[in-house]
């Protein structure tokens, strides 16, 4: 299994592995009656619908998904909220491992906002974003952004040439725009929770794109469960 969807300018979401399928959900629910299904039928689909509708979520926690994600830090830190505070008793528990620039010096990559992608401040909210700004303004700030990245990268590389350790030299890199790579492993219920929250209309546009990619990849393995879990 190696399914991957490109996101933004350089990012992606890759489905690394899964444990279970829609039948796992069904059979986890039916074990109370010492029954099991071996092939999905309409009765099983109705059971999944019943479980999701009535918030009987434990059967959805017997299936797991592992993703590799490459995203700007501004997305990764929002995604991280679905891990912080979790423990083995938490129904949304999962695992997260991220690349570290204390140990690696691979070529830094930054999220470059295209000229047609800069957004204005929304009139109805103090946070988030609204409509796209004009191309004239967008051109200006895309140029400013790339110049900022070039200058920061030059300082980062020069500091290391002067003998500064990697873990300190990295402070010259524009953090929120810097791409990071991480593995996220979570239950089917946790993945659906992330998708529902981050596909909402008021979620940040960039993380909406990652949620959309996660949805498509999860649908390919759990089509019936995702149809009922994602509103």
Please list the active-site residues. Answer: 198
What whole-number distance in Å separates Cα of residue 228 and Cα of residue 231? 7
Contacts of residue 140, defined as CB under 8 A and 6 or more positions apart, other chains included, come to: none
Return the closest-CA partner of residue 58 out of 89, 82, 14, 87.
89
What is the distance of C-alpha 202 from the center of its chain?
16
What whole-number distance in Å separates Cα of residue 189 and Cα of residue 192? 5
Axis-axis angle for helices 22-30, 42-53 (nearest 10): 80
């Amino acid at each position: 299994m190696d399914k991957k969807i490109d996101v933004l300018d350089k990012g992606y979401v890759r489905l690394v592995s899964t444990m279970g399928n829609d039948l796992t959900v069904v059979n986890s629910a039916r074990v109370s009656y010492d029954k099991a299904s071996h092939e999905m039928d309409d009765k099983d689909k109705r059971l999944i619908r019943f479980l999701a509708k009535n918030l009987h979520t434990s059967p959805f926690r017997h299936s797991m998904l592992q993703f590799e994600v490459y995203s700007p830090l501004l997305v990764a830190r929002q995604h991280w909220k679905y891990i912080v505070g979790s423990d083995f008793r938490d129904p949304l528990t999962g695992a997260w491992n991220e690349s570290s620039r204390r140990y690696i010096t691979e070529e830094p990559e930054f999220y470059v906002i295209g000229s047609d992608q800069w957004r204005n401040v929304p009139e109805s909210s103090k946070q988030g974003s609204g409509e796209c700004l004009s191309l004239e303004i967008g051109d200006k700030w895309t140029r400013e952004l790339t110049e900022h990245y070039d200058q920061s990268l030059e300082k980062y590389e020069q500091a290391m040439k002067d003998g500064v350790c990697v873990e300190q030299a990295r402070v010259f890199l524009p953090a929120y725009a810097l791409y990071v790579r991480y593995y996220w492993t979570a239950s089917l219920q946790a993945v659906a929770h992330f998708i529902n929250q981050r596909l909402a209309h008021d979620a940040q546009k960039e993380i909406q794109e990652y949620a959309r990619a996660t949805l498509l990849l999860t649908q390919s393995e759990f089509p019936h469960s995702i149809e009922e879990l994602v509103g």
